[in-house]
Amino acid sequence: MSRAGRSNDWGFPRWRGYGSSREATTVRICDRHGCEEPGDCPAPKAPNSNERWYFCQAHAAEYNRKWDYFEGLDKAEKAARAKSERAESAGYAESQHYGWGGSGDGSRSADEMRALDVLELESDADFPTIKKAWREKAKTVHPDVKPGDAEAAAEFQKLQVAYEVLKAAEERREWKG
């Protein structure tokens, strides 16, 4: 038999569920005059200053809209700084496919995924498989095989566009990699 006042956390508060604490939480309001949204986006009050404004997302975007990272640098310095920034952040670009998305592993665009659906292929199909599927399907609905058939012509056109999208993507990957 358990007593009514006893908790199930066995004396370890970290085992309690989220939101189970009863004390009030502090919410910082946006520093923009008249805004009542939570201010969860810090922005520096001045260059090289530790003091911060705290804006909501809309006002943080407004604050940063005209900010120029390369202000005060000449053209050569801008190019060198941009190149070093790209090199340092390359790891983030490589990990972009880990984001929340639709089907596939994120390495293909939405247009490519639609093109693969048209060709009835899986998202991980390689280019030789894509080419083979396109040829097989195109042979059945080609205008020379079915002259005067509007539906076959439309289907052939759809297959052609899907193949062109996937071919261009493959060429971009080869050029990039």
Per residue of the chain (177 residues), give pLDDT as tens.
455 565 656 556 555 666 566 666 788 899 988 999 999 988 888 777 788 889 998 888 888 887 777 778 888 988 898 888 888 877 666 665 555 555 555 678 888 889 999 999 988 888 999 999 999 999 999 989 899 999 999 999 999 999 999 999 888 888 765
Residue-range domain boundaries for the chain: 25-75, 104-176
Selected from 3.40.1210.10, 3.50.50.60, 1.10.3720.10, 1.10.287.110, the CATH number assigned to the domain covering 104-176 reads 1.10.287.110
What is this structure's pTM? 0.42
Strand partners, 27: none
Instruction: Name residues whose C-beta falls within 8 Å of residue 38's C-beta, 6 or more positions apart in sequence.
Output: 27, 28, 29, 30, 56
Cβ–Cβ under 8 Å, residues 138 and 156: yes
DSSP 25: P
Cα Rg, the chain, nearest whole Å: 28
Count Cα neighbours of 164 within 13 Å in the Cβ-side half-sphere: 6
Question: Is the CA virtual torsion 27, 29, 35, 41 positive or negative?
Answer: negative
> For residue 131, what is the enclosing H or E element?
helix 127-141
- What's the Cα-to-Cα distance from 156 to each of 97, 129, 150, 153, rounded to whole Å? 32, 18, 10, 5
